[in-house]
Amino acid sequence: MIYGKGSTEVRALDGISLQVSSGKWTSIMGQSGSGKTTLLQCLSGLAQPTSGTVTLSKDNITLSSLSENKRAKLRRTHISMVFQDFNLVPILSVKDNILLPLRLAHNKVDKQWFEHITSVLKIDNRLRHLPGELSGGQQQRAAIARALISRPDIVIADEPTGSLDSVTSNAVLDLFRSIVDDFGQSLVFVTHDKDAAHRGDVLVTMRDGKIIGHEDLRVNR
């Protein structure tokens, strides 16, 4: 992934080759500027790589072959994201923000699942509030609930526990572990927290736009 030209050229990603296994938790670590967020944007179809392809092997779909509208539809049905800046709709209540992916896809609400994730994330008492009335940690929890509500094939999370206290962070990590183990969803999880990263199945380490480490964390369990 290259930005700019000539003297201003920046290689955000350089020669990346990565397979995200179905039904597994892939943790990605690296210093700021290592290319983690750019990689997530490419994996989700929000950014198009300068060269190479991103393929969903389940349906043999190459993201670069899809129009922007089709990539957006794919994200509504198969891929959910948790952003660092939350990306909640300010004029919608927390409940409506969480349910937005289902309504856009015209899917029914699983009330039991909704109640479960909002309870685990401790935002069940904030559902009528607007995002602007919440703390940063509460907004992050609402964003996580929104990403999980539709039970997508792939959840892509960029520093999802960065603004949470340790108790809530552990609850979120337990919930992530559950969606992988119990529901077979795939999780791509970027973090600076080594302990959180090691809750996953695979640890990928990045530096200067390259993958410099790939470790199977299940070996030592």
Q: What is the pLDDT of residues 66-105, one digit of tens each?
A: 888 888 888 877 889 888 788 899 999 999 999 999 998 8
pLDDT at 1 over 80: no
Task: Please report which confidence band the pLDDT of residue 221 belongs to, taking 50, 70 and 90 as the band edges.
Answer: low
pLDDT at 5 over 80: no
Task: Please report which confidence band the pLDDT of residue 145 belongs to, taking 50, 70 and 90 as the band edges.
Answer: very high
Angle (CA) 81-87-89 rounded to 5° is 125
pLDDT at 12 over 80: no
How is residue 176 written in tokens? Answer: 């992530």
Task: Please report which confidence band the pLDDT of residue 10 belongs to, taking 50, 70 and 90 as the band edges.
Answer: low
Q: Specify the CATH class of 2-90+152-216 in words.
A: alpha beta
Residue with tokens 């602007």: 132
Closest CA to 22 of 134, 188, 214: 188
What residue type is assigned to position 175 of the chain? Answer: L
- Summarize the confidence of residues 117-129 as an average pLDDT: 94
pLDDT at 146 over 60: yes
Calculated CA dihedral for residues 134, 138, 140, 144, nearest 10 degrees: -120
pTM of the model: 0.86
pLDDT at 4 over 60: no
Higher-confidence position of 156 and 221? 156
> What backbone phi and psi angles, to 5 degrees, belong to 43?
-65, -30
What residue type is assigned to position 124 of the chain? Answer: D
Q: What is the mean pLDDT of the chain?
A: 87
Q: How confident is the model over 16-41, as pLDDT tens digits? A: 888 888 899 999 999 888 888 889 88
pLDDT at 6 over 80: no
Q: Which residues partner with 55 through β-bridges?
A: 62
